[in-house]
Amino acid sequence: DAGVTQSPTHLIKTRGQQVTLRCSPISGHKSVSWYQQVLGQGPQFIFQYYEKEERGRGNFPDRFSARQFPNYSSELNVNALLLGDSALYLCASSPGTNYEQYFGPGTRLTVT
Amino acid sequence: GIQVEQSPPDLILQEGANSTLRCNFSDSVNNLQWFHQNPWGQLINLFYIPSGTKQNGRLSATTVATERYSLLYISSSQTTDSGVYFCAVGSGTYKYIFGTGTRLKVLA
């Protein structure tokens, strides 16, 4: 069975631009969570979606938004990029909202 | 919110040595996982262990939920065990709080 997939693997953006990151969960999993990991720190929770509804949001500005599609895949959007948004963005999938989470390989975003 | 502390922050071992990593958390939890993050950033699931003891090969883990800690044991360490080990806990239904990690380096 395929694991969690994320695209793109890497990308470089300029300050002020917008970016969209994509995640496909494990087949049968209905929950997707997004995390941001800056260098040297542990991942920080951004969003959780379950059954296409936002179930939780971390302490991130409104420049960050996400959505989940009918096939349970998800997109994370970040507007007006700042240098501090440079990080590894991780997607996690789980069967529901209170289960073991499985992480994808991440998207490494560099903002210049 | 819940605070998660991991110790030690850094650990250097000779190949073949054993080690114990600790995760303390400040409130009751209903989810706890241990992960190994490889040099490419991939978080690899080691254990889902909100309570009790589990073993998988050279690795084992114990969570004592009533005392708010979890331990990860690595026996007969190998160079491929190098990387960062994270403990993550959840008390609600939607998010995990990660610790700051233990950076392990195993020398050949």
Of B41, B95, B98, the CB nearest to A42: B98
Q: Say which CATH number the domain at A66 has.
A: 2.60.40.10
* Chain A neighbors of B41, CB-CB under 8 A: 37, 88, 90, 105-106, 108
Q: What 3-state class would DSSP assign to A18?
A: coil
Contact yes or no for B35 and A108 at CB 8 A: no
How far is it, in rounded angstroms, from Cα A69 to Cα A73? 5
CB atoms within 10 A of CB B47: 21
Q: Which domains does chain B have, with CATH numbers?
A: 4-107 (2.60.40.10)
pLDDT value at position A85? Answer: 98
Quote the number of domains for chain A: 1
Contact at CB, A43 and B33, closer than 8 angstroms? no
Beta partners for residue B72, in sequence order: B21, B61
User: Domain range for residue A38?
Assistant: 5-111
Per DSSP (E only), the strands in chain A are 5-7, 10-13, 19-24, 31-37, 44-50, 53-57, 64-68, 74-78, 87-94, 102-103, 107-111
pLDDT digits (tens, 9 = 90+) for A56-98: 899 999 999 999 999 999 999 999 999 999 999 999 999 877 7
| Set of chain B residues whose Cβ sits within 8 Å of the Cβ of A48 | 94-95
- Interface membership of A44 toward B (CB under 8 Å): yes
What digits encode the pLDDT tens for the residues B1-11? Answer: 889 999 999 99
Are B97 and A100 a contacting pair at CB < 8 A? no
CA distance, residue B92 to nearest chain A CA (Å): 8
Tell me if chain B has a CB within 8 Å of the CB of A95: no
A100-105 average pLDDT score: 95
